[in-house]
Amino acid sequence: MKQAAYIVNTGIITAIGNDTAACLDALLHSRTGVGKAEYLKTHWSEELPVAEVKASNEALAALATVDAKWPRTAILSAIAVKEAIQPVADKLHGLKVGFFSATTVGGMDLTENVYKAFKEDSSQVDFDNIKNHECGAITELVANHFGINDFVTTISTACSSSANSIMMAAQMIGNGMLDVAIAGGADSLSRFTLNGFNTLMILDKQFCQPFDNNRRGLNLGEGAGYLLLMSEKAMQQCGATATCIVSGYANANDAYHQTASSPDGTGNKRAMGNALKVANLQPADINYINLHGTGTANNDSSEGKAIEVLFDGKVPAASSTKAYTGHTLGAAAGVEAVFSVLSIRHGLVYPNLRWQTQMEDVSFKPATELQQGVAINHVLSNSFGFGGNCSSLVFSKC
């Protein structure tokens, strides 16, 4: 029998807020974080809106009390980890603590500024801008800052990355390998990812409209989101309480195309179905689905069709929160795990912002009004990505 992985606290920073309370307030008041890039210096700043955290690296580093020369992804990660770990930071003595992070850009925001000069003459470039390029370096910086070393890992499975870090953390707490885990992910905006997604022609030049028939694509975002997970024993030692657990998780592959989902959402269906099995739940038990809902024609259609089949037409309240935060890539599942926990804790269904027109190939309508005081016992959160990577998590009230 596996031990439960209790969700004791959350830590988050996105374009809609620098911590959990600020993000919740924005969700409750339908405030979007999408807008014009101010800190990301790009040719496309006038044409491609992004959900940017509106602060310089220096200002953000001061929030986390870390070095402003770190890659922005590491700074964002440290801010969210600091919030997540804060209530128990001085109570973890003797407990095995793990840090499970996820990122897709790593230190690219610094590398891309010096790459040309580095290739021309490496001695002319401050090596501090290159040395933390690796994804694992981001996690290492943050783990060392917080003194976490029992198990430290980074997962990079594109847009599903942090769902997998939460899955692995729940497994390792489940079988007693760890007592405590900080699990989620972080990604900053970079010219590399903005231009990459732009070449795929899946970026919306307007504010994105997930699950709308006239959707045009996604807006990239940045941020970090982490859960503080604990075994029962660790909660007792720390005097901590929890409102919910990670009850289900699954990872599957769509095996269809490197960057596109199969039309009927083969991998999506498998991930959702297997996550429900692990949670020992039926589709009818789910009260809210936090959709992957990027706003691209392909994703929302595949995901919507997979949900209709799995839920046999009886789809519970569902919404995408990417119209608020943009698509934060490797951080997305961590960010949305925090929103899922808040949904259970406060009985909330978030409105799917900017929704106007029913999709033609999907019959269910996302939630468009804020619902408060709803009994939310089980939330399903989806994350699908390049490489066919599909992951779903289930969070349940305890």
Cα separation, 38 vs 145, whole angstroms: 28
> Is residue 146 close enough to count as binding another protein by CB under 8 A?
no
**Residue type present at position 89:** A
Q: Which is nearer to another protein, 19 or 140 (CB)?
A: 140
Q: At CA 245, angle to CA 241 and CA 251, rounded to 5?
A: 150
Return the residue of 18, 57, 104, 296 that touches another protein, per CB under 8 A: 104
10-29 positions binding another protein, by CB under 8 A: none
327 labelled catalytic: yes
398 labelled catalytic: no
Return the residue of 36, 54, 233, 257 that touches another protein, per CB under 8 A: 257
> Is residue 175 close enough to count as binding another protein by CB under 8 A?
yes
- Count of residues that bind another protein according to CB under 8 A: 61
> Is residue 140 close enough to count as binding another protein by CB under 8 A?
yes
Return the residue of 74, 92, 97, 137 that touches another protein, per CB under 8 A: 137
Q: Single out the segment in contact with another protein by CB under 8 A; choices: 55-63, 130-138, 218-226, 234-242.
A: 130-138
Return the residue of 134, 232, 264, 285 that touches another protein, per CB under 8 A: 134
> Is residue 255 close enough to count as binding another protein by CB under 8 A?
yes
> Is residue 306 close enough to count as binding another protein by CB under 8 A?
no
292 labelled catalytic: yes
**H/E element holding 345?**
helix 332-346
Residue 383, classed as helix, strand or coil, is: strand
Q: Single out the segment in contact with another protein by CB under 8 A; choices: 4-12, 60-68, 115-123, 213-221.
A: 115-123
370-389 positions binding another protein, by CB under 8 A: 385-389
Please measure the distance between the N-terminal and C-terminal CA atoms of the chain and give it in whole angstroms: 17
Cα separation, 116 vs 94, whole angstroms: 47
Please list, in sequence order, all residues whose beta carbon lies within 8 angstroms of the beta carbon of residue 123, skipping any fewer than 6 positions away: none
Select which of 133, 145, 327, 378 is catalytic.
327
What 8-state DSSP symbol labels residue 212? -
> Is residue 296 close enough to count as binding another protein by CB under 8 A?
no
Nearest to 209 by CA among 105, 76, 31, 353: 353
Q: Shortest Cβ distance from residue 136 to another protein (Å)?
A: 4
For residue 113, report the phi and psi dihedrals to the nearest 5 degrees: -80, -25
What sign does the dihedral 252-282-241-62 (CA atoms) show? positive
Using CA atoms, how far residue 198 sits from 112, 192, 202, 322, in Å, is 17, 10, 6, 17
Pairing type for strands 244-253 and 389-397 reads antiparallel
Q: Around Cβ 372, how many Cβ atoms within 10 Å?
A: 10
> Is residue 30 close enough to count as binding another protein by CB under 8 A?
no
Residue 288, classed as helix, strand or coil, is: strand
Nearest to 158 by CA among 335, 333, 330, 300: 330
Q: Shortest Cβ distance from residue 256 to another protein (Å)?
A: 7
> Is residue 93 close enough to count as binding another protein by CB under 8 A?
no
> Is residue 116 close enough to count as binding another protein by CB under 8 A?
yes
Q: Which is nearer to another protein, 111 or 294 (CB)?
A: 111
Q: Around Cβ 274, how many Cβ atoms within 10 Å?
A: 18
Select which of 23, 135, 159, 238 is catalytic.
159
Using CA atoms, how far residue 293 sits from 54, 209, 260, 319, 346, in Å, is 24, 9, 14, 8, 22
Return the residue of 196, 273, 283, 347 that touches another protein, per CB under 8 A: 196
Show which residues are catalytic: 159, 292, 327
Residues at the interface with another protein (CB under 8 A): 42-44, 104, 106, 111-112, 115-116, 118-119, 122, 127, 130-131, 133-137, 139-140, 149, 152-158, 164, 168, 171-172, 175, 191-192, 195-196, 198-200, 250-259, 266-267, 270, 278, 385-389
